[in-house]
Amino acid sequence: MGRKFFVGGNWKCNGTTDEVKKIVSMLNAAEVPSQDVVEVVVSPPFVFLPLVKSTLRSDFHVAAQNCWVKKGGAYTGEVSAEMLVNLDVPWVILGHSERRALLGESNEFVGDKVAYALAQGLKVIACIGETLEQREAGSTVDVVAAQTKAIAAKISDWTNVVLAYEPVWAIGTGKVATPAQAQEVHLELRKWLETNVSPQVAASTRIIYGGSVNGGNCKELAGQPDVDGFLVGGASLKPEFIDIIKSAEVKKSA
């Protein structure tokens, strides 16, 4: 079963109105593979979601960078899944390692978030990944399996989930997992899904890689059989994001 290549751009906490307009103009002018070949989703800060959604080309979509774990109410500073649905924002990123590390989001909390967002009709980019200490201790597979298990325990339908493997030691550091390292973890994740969820979910769920992806390394990473795309940080704010989107052609020709 063919899995459509997926490229997400996580803009994190960056941008002014003028900078965001420039990024959107760059994306709108880009010549990239068709929607049949690649799905492109960009994730601006909350305050710019309406601007980006209203000006971005129709074949690209937007994602929020987070949402609350339950229905809205007395939760100062949070944004609910219902609000995103109301704004017609189709995607949300959940469980990013920065939120896990800086804000203490546990595996179980992320699992609850994913389940709630899906129940409201959002599509979810669910992030998992190990720290450098965990990798050096040889526990990478155990760590990402535990993070995935916490999500699997709360959901039954994986249709609208993209799993983003982002080794924490490679995010924003310039270090990148080698294509072989990325493939190894993606393959182990797919095996985990096959054993613990179902062969169908394992075959159809897109597992994308994140962590210092750039225009120079994207094609080799895209060539790995179990790497179904990318979640891109800093490079998604730059022209090289277009090259990363074009790396979908590697999969098309494979």
Query: Which residues have a catalytic role annotated?
Result: 96, 166
What does the alpha-carbon distance between residue 9 and residue 125 come to, in Å, rounded to a whole number?
A: 11
C-alpha distances (whole Å) from 73 to each of 55, 83, 234 are: 30, 11, 33
Per residue, the 3-state secondary structure of 222-233, as one string, reads: HCCCCCCEEEEC
Do residues 216 and 9 make contact, with C-beta atoms less than 8 angstroms apart? no
Q: What is the DSSP letter of 68?
A: -
Tokens of 86: 């109301």
Residue located via tokens 């609208």: 160
Q: What b-and-e string marks burial along 81-110, b requiring 16 or more CB atoms within 10 Å of the CB?
A: bbbbbeeebbbbbbbbbbbbeeeebebebb
CB 146 within 8 A of CB 189: no
